[in-house]
Amino acid sequence: MKKLPCTVVTGAFWGDEGKGKIVSYLALNDQLDVCVRTGSVNAAHTVWYEGKRYALQMVPAAFLNEKCRLLLGIGANVHVAKFLEEVKVTNVKERIGIDRQASILEEKHSIQDKTSAHLKGIGTTGWGVGPAIEERVRRTAKLAEDIPELQPYLTDVTREINEAIDKGKKVLLEGTQGLMLSLFHGTYPYVTGRDTSASAICSEAGVGPTKIDNVLVVFKAFMTRVGAGSLPGELTTEEAQKRGWFEMAAGTGRERRSAPFNFELARRAVMINSATQAALTKLDILYPQCKGAKNYDELPEEAKQFTKEIEKQIGIPVVLIGTGPEASDIVDRRK
Ligand code: IMP
Ligand code: MG
């Protein structure tokens, strides 16, 4: 069978695993031809490049590669102002496209998100993504094709991706959030408004399962969560600060709760995503001697043991290891 060069990148836990960093590295290193972002503005994907930080909520994290075509899939929920702002900041006007039938996030959705009592209890990001999805389900959603400012960007993303894959181009589907925030597979009702698994990412992009040859699931070396809902092994804020695990959310500036890596959840993430490869980010936060390492041999013994234990427990190889915030701070074991 023909080897299909299409990869899905998906988060294992509650988002913020470092998908932005992994996608930006792959964009440059693997010379991606096409990157499709799914989901919406509730997710911020952080990319660091040459000392500059981008917290992307609309533009695909592969934008660093100037030859890469950037797309928002048919299942995406587009925030028009945020999209236009990020297109300017990243200077991608000539190479970004939105599917005509993607839904639009409206001001009223954000208001509903912030004022509905039941959503307040979930601790949503307040961008209105859940209410916009409800609108889509009611069959009354505004679509990208209805928005005058988006006309220059409209395209048939589904066709573009499928043709690119058929031509053997390197395509990456960029998932948002993580499996534990999935509407189906996550910690319901403390979840986001859509399925975040690899299959759902394919569906949102318009690609069938037989066209995927690689599912890369991204783990952070410890777990974090923003908003309400269970977090097994949760540390106190004080303990998180002591360990250097304390983080603020890139999108909302809220505090992230944290906990040690959980093998049982990790195995579940591999199973449900039918993952073939894993990435492990922020290993330098657990083991500071890893900082900036580019070769596996440079890692301290403890860090290697931790990586080996993860591989043993999840049954797939850890091929990429994040050792710092820059796109290039990575140990690439595929080489
Ligand atoms: P919503 O996606 O804004 O509806 O929020 C639902 C839940 O998902 C809340 O707990 C949010 O904090 C969480 N959430 C949504 N997007 C992200 C993300 O990108 N990273 C981390 N948490 C997220
Ligand atoms: Mg994030």
* pLDDT number for residue 3: 47
Give the angle 240-179-123 at the CA atoms, nearest 5°. 60
pLDDT tens for each residue of 5-54: 899 999 999 999 999 999 999 999 999 999 999 999 999 999 999 999 99
pLDDT tens for each residue of 193-235: 999 999 999 999 999 999 999 999 999 999 999 999 999 999 9
- Closest residue to atom 17 of ligand 1, CA basis: 43
Quote the pTM value: 0.97
**Residue 248 banded pLDDT, cuts 50, 70, 90:** confident
Task: Quote the CA–CA distance of 148 and 32 in Å, as a whole number.
Answer: 30
Give the mutation target among 125, 183, 224 for probing the ligand 1 site: most ligand atoms within 8 A of CB. 125
Ligand located closest to 256 CA: 1
**Residue 251 banded pLDDT, cuts 50, 70, 90:** confident
What radius of gyration do the chain's Cα atoms show? 19
Strand partners, 36: 71, 173
Q: How far is the CA of 54 from the centre of ligand 1 (A)?
A: 19
Q: What percent of the chain has pLDDT over 70?
A: 99
Q: How far is the CA of 214 from the centre of ligand 2 (A)?
A: 22
Nearest to 258 by CA among 238, 234, 281: 234
CB 305 within 8 A of CB 7: no
Output DSSP code: residue 252: T
Q: How far is the CA of 124 from the centre of ligand 1 (A)?
A: 6
Give the mutation target among 10, 13, 226 for probing the ligand 1 site: most ligand atoms within 8 A of CB. 226
* pLDDT number for residue 249: 83
pLDDT tens for each residue of 72-88: 999 999 999 999 999 99
Catalogue the active-site residues: 16, 45
* pLDDT number for residue 2: 45
pLDDT tens for each residue of 164-183: 999 999 999 999 999 999 99
